[in-house]
Structure 1
Amino acid sequence: MSTVASSATLHARRINRGMLFGGFSIFALLYCVQPLMPLMAQQFTLSAAESSWVLSISTLTMAISLVLGGALSDRIGRKALMTASMVGGGACTLLCAFAQDFTQLLVLRALLGVALGGMPAVAMAYLGEEIAPQSLGVSMGMYIGGSALGGMSSRVLTSVVADVSSWRFALFGLGLAGLYAGWEFWRSLPDSRNFRPARPGLKALCDGARMHLRDEGLPWLFALGFLLMGVFVSLYNYISYRLLAAPFGLGQTAVGLLSVLYLTGMFSSVWAGRLADRMGRRKVLWMMMGLTMAGLALTLSGELIILVAGMALATFGFFASHSVASSWVGRRARAPQALASALYLFFYYLGSSLVGSLAGLAWGAAGWTGLVSLLLVTLGLGMLIALRLRRLAPLDAAPAFPNLSTSEAV
C-alpha cells in the first residue's frame, strides 16, 4: 500500500513540476514585451494604445487558437500538443528579435499567439483528468504560480537587458529560455493515464460548446475571466508609462523590477487554491476580488510606496481570483473538459486584448485616473458576477470527476 502511495506521490510531483515549467513558459513568452512598450513606441513612433498591440495581437490570436487547440487535444492527446506549443512559442520569440519593423513584429507576435494556444486550455483539462479532486486546487495553483514566475522574470530580465543592450537581444535570450522550458516540460510531465479520445469534427465542437454555454455557471465564469484578465493586463500595460514620466521619473530597469510583485501572485494562487478546497470557491472568490479592487484604488496615490503597495495587493488578488475561477471551471465542466477550459481562456485572453486596448485610450484621454476608473468599473461588474456565483446551485447530475460529490462540484 505504501508503494502505491509513493508512486502516486511521485506521479503528482512530476505533473506539478511539468506544469510549473509550462506556466512559466506561457506567461514569459507572452508578456515579455509588456515593459518594452515605451521603448517600442519611441523606436517605431507609436502612441501608447498603438504599442499595446504588440501584446494584444498575441492574446487575440491565442484566444482563437486555444479553442481549436483544446478540441484537437481531445483527439490526439494532451502532452504532445502542449509540448509542440511551447517549442513553437520559443521559436517565434527568437524570430521576433530579428523583426525589421513594427508590422513584422506584429505578424510574428500573432504567430506566437497561435502557437501558444495549444497549451493553456489543454493544461487545465489535463489536470482535471489526472489529479485527484481534493488536490486539484493545489495543482492548478502550481501551474498559475509558474505563470506568475514566468511573467515576473521575463519582465525583469527584458527590462534589464534592454537597458544595457537592446530589446532585440532580450527577446533572443528569452526565446532560448522558452525552448529549454519546452524540453523540461516534455521530460517531466507523465503521459496521460485517464485521457480518452473524443469524437472529432466541427459538429462535436459546436455541440460541446453549446452544452457548456447552456450550463448555469460556466458562462458566468467565462465572463469573469474576460473581466479579470482585462483589468490585470491593463494595469501592467500602462503602469510603466506612468512611472517613466514625471513626477516619478524612474528608469527602465526600475520599472521592470516592479514585476517582482508577481511573487505575491505565486503565493496567492497556491494559497487561494488550498483555501478554496477547504472553504469553498464562492467565499474565496468574492474576497480575493475585493482585495484587487482595493489595490487598484491605492495606485491612484502620488506616493511611490503606496502605489507599489496597491500594485502588490492588486496582483495578489488577481492571481488568487484566477486560480479559484479556473479550477472552478475544471471542477464543474463535463466532457469535453478541454473545450470548457478553452472557452474560459478564450474569453480570458479576449479580455486581455479588448480591455487592454480600451484602457490605452482611457490613459491617453484622462491619464492614470481615467484608466483606474475604467478598471474599477470593469472589476465592479466582475464582483456582481462573483456574488451571483455564490448563489449557484450544485450540479444535479453525476459530476465529471470520480469520487467528487455534487456539493463539491460547484
Structure 2
Amino acid sequence: MSPADTGASTVVDAAAPATAPVDSSSAREDSRLTPGGPGYRRMSFALFLAGVATFALLYSTQALLPLVSDDYGVTAGDASWTVSAATGGLALFVLPLSALSERFGRRTVMTASLSVAVAVGLLVPFAPSLGALIALRAVQGAALAGLPASANAYLSEEVRPRALVTAIGLFVAGNSVGGMSGRIIGGWLAQEWGWRVAVAVIGVIAVACAVAFRLLLPEPRHFTAGSLRPRDLGRTVRDHLSDPLLRRLYVIGALFMAVFGGVYTVIGYRLTGAPFSLSQGIAGSVFLVYLVGTVSASTAGRLVGRVGRRGALYLAGGLTATGLLVSLADSLVLVLLGLVLITAGFFAGHAVASSSVSKTATHGRAQASALYQSAYYIGSSAGSTLGAVAFHAGGWSGTVGMGLLAVAGVVAITVLGSRAARVAARREPVAV
C-alpha cells in the first residue's frame, strides 16, 4: 500500500521503543476530519450544497429542452448544445482551474467558481437567441470547472483515508440532489411560466447554496501551496496519464457519463411525445429517480468494502445495462424502472471511479481529479449530443443502443485491468 493510501510517509519500526517520538505524518492523519468528529458534518453539508448548486446549474436546461426547441424553433440536436456547451466548457477548464487551486487553495477557487457561475446563471434567462444561450452556458460550465476537482482534492487532504470514499460519495449525492431538484422544479415552473422563469429560479436557489457553502466550509488545515509553473503542471499531468490504472478510471468515468448524459438529455422528448404524452411538469418529476443515485453514491464505500473496486464496477455496469434494456418497453412503469436502474448504476460507478482516482494518485491529487473530471464531462458532452442524434435517427432504441455500447466499454476495460493486475502480481518479486 502506498503512503498516499495510508496517510503516512514513513514506516515506524515495530521494534522501536515505546518512547519513540510520534511520527509527524501520523499526527497529521489524526487531525484529519472523520465521521462523527468535529467539523465533519459542516464540511459534508457545505460540499453537499456545492454539489447541489453545481449540478442544478450545469443541467438547468436539460429537462426543458423540448420548450427550448419550441421557443427558438430548433431540433433536439440543436437544443442539446445548451447542455453540451456547459459540460464541454467544464471539461476544458477543469485542469487549468485545478492548477490554480494548487496555488491559491481549494476553498478560494471553489468559492470564486461558484460566484461566477451563479452570476452567469442569473443572465441565462435573458438570452435573446440560441447562440447567445449556448455561449452563456459555455461560460457557466467553464466557471463551474473549479468545483469538482478542487472538492475531491480538498476531501483527500482534509478527510482520513478510510472515510474518503464515503465523503466523496456524499459530495456526489449532492450532485444527484442538485440534478434532481433543478429538473423537477424547472419542469413544473416551465409548465406554468416557461423555461426562462424556470432557469431564473434555479439560479436564485444556486445563489443561496453558494452563500451557505462559503459560510459552512471549514478552513483547510492540510493544504500546502504548489507551483503554477507550466512545466511542473505538465510533468504532473504526464505522470498521471502514464499510470495505467488512472487511465482506465478516466475512460470508465467518461463512458458512464456518456450513458447518463445521453439518456437524460432525450428522456424529456420521449415522455412528452407519443405514446406517453406527459406534461412538462410531470415529465420533469421523473427526475425524482435521482434519489436512487443519492443512495447508491453515498453507499459506494460499503459496496467497495464488500466486493472490491472491480466488483463494484461490474455491478454498476450491470445495473446500467439492465436499466437501458428495461426502458425499451412502451410502458411508463417499465421506463421508470429502467431509469431507476440506470441512475443507481451510474452514480455507484461514478463514486467508485472518482474515489479510486483520489486514492491512486500519490501526488498532484487536484490534477488527477481534474483529469478524471475532464474525461467525465467530455463523456457527458459527447453523450448528450450523440444521444440526441441517435434519438433523432432511431428513436429511443437508438439512444439505448449508444448506451449499451458505452457500458460494454466499461466492462471490457475493467476486465482488461483485472488481467493486467494479475500479470503485474506474477511479475512482482517475492519478498524474503
TM-score band w.r.t. shorter chain: over 0.9
For the residues of structure 2 that align with 1:56 and 1:101, how far apart are their CA atoms?
17
1:306 equivalent to 2:306? Answer: no
For the residues of structure 2 that align with 1:319 and 1:69, how far apart are their CA atoms?
24
Match of 1:183 among 200, 211, 230: 211
Partner of residue 68, structure 2: 40
1:334 equivalent to 2:352? Answer: no
Shift of residue 84, structure 1, vs aligned partner: 1.2
Partner of residue 23, structure 2: none
Shift of residue 47, structure 1, vs aligned partner: 0.9
1:345-396 CA distance string (max 9 Å, x none)? 10100111112212221111111111111110111111111223344649x9
Uncovered stretches (5+) of structure 1, i.e. residues with no partner: 397-410
The one-letter amino acid paired with 2:167 is S
Shift of residue 151, structure 1, vs aligned partner: 0.3
Partner of residue 364, structure 1: 392
TM-score normalised to structure 2 length: 0.88
1:246 equivalent to 2:282? Answer: no
The one-letter amino acid paired with 1:107 is A
Partner of residue 130, structure 1: 158
The one-letter amino acid paired with 2:94 is L
Q: Quick check: 21-30 or 193-202, which moved more?
A: 193-202
Partner of residue 345, structure 1: 373
Partner of residue 308, structure 2: 280
Shift of residue 5, structure 1, vs aligned partner: 9.3
Q: Is the 8 A contact 1:140 1:273 kept in 2?
A: no
Partner of residue 323, structure 1: 351
The one-letter amino acid paired with 1:202 is P
For the residues of structure 2 that align with 1:297 and 1:337, how far apart are their CA atoms?
37
The one-letter amino acid paired with 1:224 is I
Q: Is the 8 A contact 1:137 1:277 kept in 2?
A: no
1:100 equivalent to 2:128? Answer: yes
Distance 1:366 1:203, change over 3 A: same
Computing the radius of gyration from Cα coordinates, the structure with the larger value is 2
The one-letter amino acid paired with 1:355 is G
Partner of residue 402, structure 1: none
Q: Is the 8 A contact 1:87 1:178 kept in 2?
A: no
For the residues of structure 1 that align with 2:175 and 2:414, how far apart are their CA atoms?
23
Q: Secondary structure at the match of 2:276?
A: coil
Match of 1:143 among 165, 171, 175: 171
The one-letter amino acid paired with 2:163 is S
For the residues of structure 2 that align with 1:371 and 1:5, how far apart are their CA atoms?
43
The one-letter amino acid paired with 1:33 is T
TM-score normalised to structure 1 length: 0.93
The one-letter amino acid paired with 2:220 is S
Distance 1:255 1:7, change over 3 A: closer
Shift of residue 273, structure 1, vs aligned partner: 2.1
Partner of residue 407, structure 1: none
Shift of residue 190, structure 1, vs aligned partner: 0.9
Q: Is the 8 A contact 1:283 1:390 kept in 2?
A: no
For the residues of structure 1 that align with 2:97 and 2:307, how far apart are their CA atoms?
33
Uncovered stretches (5+) of structure 2, i.e. residues with no partner: 1-30, 425-432
Distance 1:4 1:252, change over 3 A: closer
Spell out the pairing of 1:370-385 with structure 2 (5 A cutoff).
370-385=398-413
For the residues of structure 2 that align with 1:387 and 1:4, how far apart are their CA atoms?
35
Runs of 4+ in structure 1 displaced over 4 angstroms?
Answer: 3-8
Spell out the pairing of 1:39-58 with structure 2 (5 A cutoff).
39-58=67-86
Match of 2:191 among 125, 140, 163: 163
1:237 equivalent to 2:265? Answer: yes
For the residues of structure 2 that align with 1:89 and 1:374, how far apart are their CA atoms?
31
**Same amino acid, percent of matched pairs:** 37
The one-letter amino acid paired with 1:335 is H
1:76 equivalent to 2:107? Answer: no
Shift of residue 94, structure 1, vs aligned partner: 0.6
For the residues of structure 1 that align with 2:217 and 2:33, how far apart are their CA atoms?
19
Q: Is the 8 A contact 1:148 1:262 kept in 2?
A: yes
The one-letter amino acid paired with 1:62 is L
1:104-138 CA distance string (max 9 Å, x none)? 11111111011101100111111111111111111
For the residues of structure 1 that align with 2:35 and 2:52, how far apart are their CA atoms?
26
Match of 1:28 among 51, 56, 80: 56
Distance 1:79 1:372, change over 3 A: same
The one-letter amino acid paired with 2:407 is L
Match of 2:323 among 295, 311, 318: 295
Over the aligned positions, Cα root-mean-square deviation in angstroms equals 1.9
Distance 1:6 1:249, change over 3 A: closer
For the residues of structure 2 that align with 1:108 and 1:81, how far apart are their CA atoms?
20
Spell out the pairing of 1:213-232 with structure 2 (5 A cutoff).
213-232=241-260
For the residues of structure 2 that align with 1:263 and 1:386, how far apart are their CA atoms?
27
Shift of residue 30, structure 1, vs aligned partner: 0.5
